[in-house]
Structure 1
Amino acid sequence: MRVALATDAWAPQINGVVRSLTETAAALGPLGHSVEFITPEGLPSWPLPTYPDIRLAIGAGAAVAERLDRLAPDALHIATEGPIGHAARRWAMARRLPFTTSYHTRYPEYVRARAPVPEALTYAWLRHFHGPASRTLVPTETMRRELASWGFRNLSVWSRGVDSRLFRPRDLEPVAWPRPLMLSVGRVAVEKNLEAFLSLDLPGTKVVVGDGPQRVALEQRHPEAVFLGSRTGEALAEIYASADVFVFPSLTDTYGNVMQEALASGVPVAAFPVAGPLDVITDPAVGVLDADLAVAIRRALTLDRAACRAFALTRSWEAAARQFASALAPFASVARAA
C-alpha cells in the first residue's frame, strides 16, 4: 500500500513526533507498504511563537493538493493539526476520501501553560479537526480514555518502539561529574516541567540533554546542573548509557519515547504517575512512579539495569508499524462500498 503521510513536524526538528513518524515509516517497508511524506519542506514558513525551531508552512493548500494528486496514494494519514495537516484534510474531504489522523501533542495543556486559554476551547478545536477521521491514533490506552472523556470518537492505540541496536548498554566510562548521574532528555521548555527535577536537593549530578526556550533561564537558575544541548545518534546513546537513572518530570507528554530509549540503554526511569509514564513503565522492576519525584529517583537507583534492557526489547517499531497499518483507511474501500 502506498501511504501519504502529512505532517507539519519534520526535520530539522528533533522531537518524539518526528522520531515516531520516521521510525514507523522505516518499519512499514518490510511489511509491504511505502510511505511518502507531505511536509513543509520547500514551502514558505514562519516560526511558531515560543517554538522558533518549529516552522509553519504558509499557503500550503495548493502545494499539498498538488503533491497528493501527483502521488495518487492508496491511503492518507494526517499526523499533525497544523497548516499541512489542515491542507491534507481539506484535500481528502473535498474528494470524499477516508483518512486517519493521530494525536501526538497535548496542545490544550501546552497553550494553557503560556496563555489564559481555557483547555475546553482548545479541545473543542481539536475534536473538530479529528472528527471526520476514520480513526484517530493515540499512543497509549490512558490517552485513549482521556480523549474519549473529551468527546473524541473512533480512537485506536498506536504505540511506539525503540531502536535497541543504537540505544544499548555500554561499558560505563569515567565521567567528570559526581555520581549518581541523573539524566533528562527532551525539549527544554515549560511544558516539560524540568524545574520539578532541577530544584530537587539530591546528591550527584543532574544532566539535561536538549535545547529550547527555557534553557538560558534554567541554566542561570541552576548553575550546578549540566546542560549539554542537543545530541543525536551515537553521541546521545552514549550519554544515555552513562546515566544511573533517567528522570522524566513531564506531566503533559502523551508518551515519552525517551523513557524507552533509556530503558534500552539499561537505565531505570523515575517519573510522576501520569499519562505517558503509566503506559511505558508498566513493570516496577524497570522504573518508579511517585508523586514525590525525589523518592522515585532514590528508589529507581536501586533497580537492576539488566531488567530494564530486557523490558525494552519487548517494544519494537515493527509492532508499532503493524498497529499503524491496521488502522489505515484505504481509498479502495470507498470504491468497494460504492
Structure 2
Amino acid sequence: MRIAYVTETYPPEINGVSLTVERAVQHLRQRGHVVELIRPRQAGEAALDTPQELRTLGCPIPMYPDLRLGLAASGTLRSRFERTQPQLVHIATEGPLGWAALRAAQALGLPASSDFRTNFHQYSRYYGFGWLSPVVQDVLRRFHNQCHATFVPTRAMRDELAHAGFQRLHVVGRGVDTTLFSPRKRLPALRAEWDASDAAVLLYVGRLAAEKNVTLALCAFEAVRMRSPSARMVVVGDGPLRRRLQSEFPAAHFVGMQTGEALAHHYASADLFLFPSLSETFGNVTLEALASGLPVVAFDTAAAAEYVDDCGNGLLAPVDAEKAFVAAACSLAWQHRHLAAVREHARRTALGAGWPEALGRFEACLAETLAAHAAGAAAGAILAA
C-alpha cells in the first residue's frame, strides 16, 4: 500500500500519541508499505519536503505551548497527493492538519481512515468550559463520520462512540514493549535515591495537566502516609501543573520526563502504579506498568477496564468514585510486601498484549478500508456504465 500518514504529533514530541504513531509508521515501512509522513515541524527542526516526509508549519496549542498544531492548506496537500499518488490517507489526529488532509483526500476521491485517540470533548470540563463539550463532540463526530473507517483502542470506546453517533468503528487495540518494560529493570540504587529501600513506592507517569486528574493520585499518597509515613511517591512527567503540584505536595518526588531505559527503571523500581485519569481513550502507561510487574489502581475505564483484573493484578474504582480510588491505593500500598502473586499476574497480563498483534490488526484494517473503497468504486463504475 501507498499511505499518506498525517499526524499533529510525532517525536521529538514525547507523549502517548506521538510514540504510538511513530511505532505504527515504522511497522508499516518495515512491512514494505510506502508511507509518506505528514506532520508539523517542531521548534528547532528544519523544514523538510521529500517523498517520505513533509514537515508543515505549526503553531503552539493554547494551554499546551510545548505541543503544536499543524498548518497546511488543503490545496497544498491535494497537490502533494497528486504528485505522490497515495492509495489511502490515514489521519491520526483531528487538528487543522487532519482536516486539511481529509478535504484533500475527498477532493481526489481517496479513501481516508482515522484514529480516535483523544477525548477532546471531555477536556473542556477540566478547563472551565464544560458547556463546550457537546460542541466539541459534534465536531469530532463530523470529522470521523466523513472517514471511511475510524480505529479505536478498546471495545468500550467503540460502544461509547457508537452510542454518540460515530460510524464505521473498528477496534485495533494497543500494545506494550514487554522487553523494555520488565520487572528485571528494578534498580535498588534508584530506590535508594528515593530513600525507599523498604518503603512502599507509589508511581504516577503522565502529563501533569488538569485533564489527567493527577491531584487525586497525590491525595491518595497523602492518605497512604497517614498509616505508612515512610511511603514514597514518584511523579514522572511534566506539564503546566508541575510547579503548583510540587508546591502543594512537597513530600512527593517530581523527576520530570523520563524515556526509554530510564522510564523502564522508574516503573520497575516502584511498587504500585496510580492512574487517576478519567479522560483517556486508552492510556498506554497502564500496560507499561503491568508489564513492569506493578499492581495498578485506576478507574474502571479505558485500558484499565480491558486489562486490570480487579483484585487480580490491581484494583478498579467505579468511574468518578474518588474515595474508592483512594481506598484502593491505601489497601495495596499498606500490604506492598505481600503482593508477589499480584505482580506476577500483572506481568502475565501484559505478555498477552504485545505490539505485533495490535499493529497487525491496524495494518489489516488499513488494507480492508482500501479494498472496500476499491470495491465500491468498481461497483459505481459498473452502474454508471
Q: Same fold (TM over 0.5)?
A: yes
Q: Which amino acid aligns with 1:189?
A: A
Paired AA for residue 202 in structure 1: V
- Specify which structure has the bigger relative contact order, considering alpha-carbon pairs within 8 angstroms and separated by 6 or more residues: 1
Instruction: Write 1 or 2 for the structure with the bigger share of helix.
Output: 2
Question: Pairwise mapping of residues 244-263 of structure 1 onto structure 2 (< 5 A)?
Answer: 244-263=271-290
Structure 2 counterpart of 1:97: 110
Cα displacement (A) at 1:297: 2.2
Deviation digits for residues 12-41 of structure 1, max 9, x if unmatched? 221111122122233334544343311112
In the aligned structure 2, how far is the partner of 1:250 from the partner of 1:67? 39
Following superposition, the deviation at residue 332 of structure 1 comes to 4.4
Q: Is the 8 Å Cα contact of residues 255 and 279 (structure 1) preserved in structure 2?
A: no
Kindly indicate whether the alpha-carbon contact (under 8 Å) linking 1:24 and 1:320 is maintained by their aligned counterparts in 2.
Answer: no
Report SS of the residue matched to 2:59.
Answer: strand
1:199-278 to 2 correspondence within 5 Å? 199-200=219-220, 201-203=223-225, 204-278=231-305
Distance 1:180 1:144 in 2: 37
Distance 2:152 2:241 in 1: 28
State the identity as a percent: 42
Larger-gyration structure (1/2): 2
Pairing 1:138–2:152 present: yes
How many aligned positions are there? 338
> Which of 317, 327, 332 does residue 365 from structure 2 map onto?
327
Give the deviation of 1:313 after TM superposition: 1.1
Which residues of structure 2 form unaligned runs of 5+?
Answer: 42-46, 48-55, 226-230
Q: 1:97 to 1:183 in 2, by over 3 A?
A: same
Q: For 1:102 and 1:234, how far apart are their aligned partners in 2?
A: 28
> What is the distance in 2 between the residues matched to 1:29 and 1:61?
25
Aligned equivalent of 1:108: 121
The 1:54–1:62 alpha-carbon spacing in structure 2 relative to 1, beyond 3 Å, is farther
Q: Distance in 2 between matches of 1:226 and 1:94?
A: 52
Task: Report the residue type matching 1:192 in the other structure.
Answer: K
Residues 238-296 of structure 1 show CA distances to partners (whole Å, capped at 9, x for unaligned) of 11110101111101111010111111111121111223321232464222112412232
CA distance, structure 1, for counterparts of residue 291 and residue 300 of structure 2:
21
- What is the distance in 2 between the residues matched to 1:311 and 1:298? 23
- 2:83 is aligned to 70
Q: C-alpha distance in 1, partners of 2:252/2:213?
A: 15
CA distance in 1, matches of 2:153, 2:180: 22
Asked if structure 1 preserves the Cα contact closer than 8 Å seen for 2:93 and 2:115, the reply is yes
List 4+ stretches of structure 1 deviating above 6 A: none
**Partner Cα distance (2:307, 2:39) in 1:** 29
Q: TM-score, normalised by structure 2?
A: 0.83
- TM-superposed deviation, 1:110: 0.6
Quote how far apart the aligned CAs of 1:172 are.
4.0
- Residue 329 of structure 2 corresponds to which residue in structure 1? 297
Unaligned runs of 5+ in 1: none
Asked if 2 retains the 8 angstrom alpha-carbon contact of 1:288 and 1:299, the reply is no
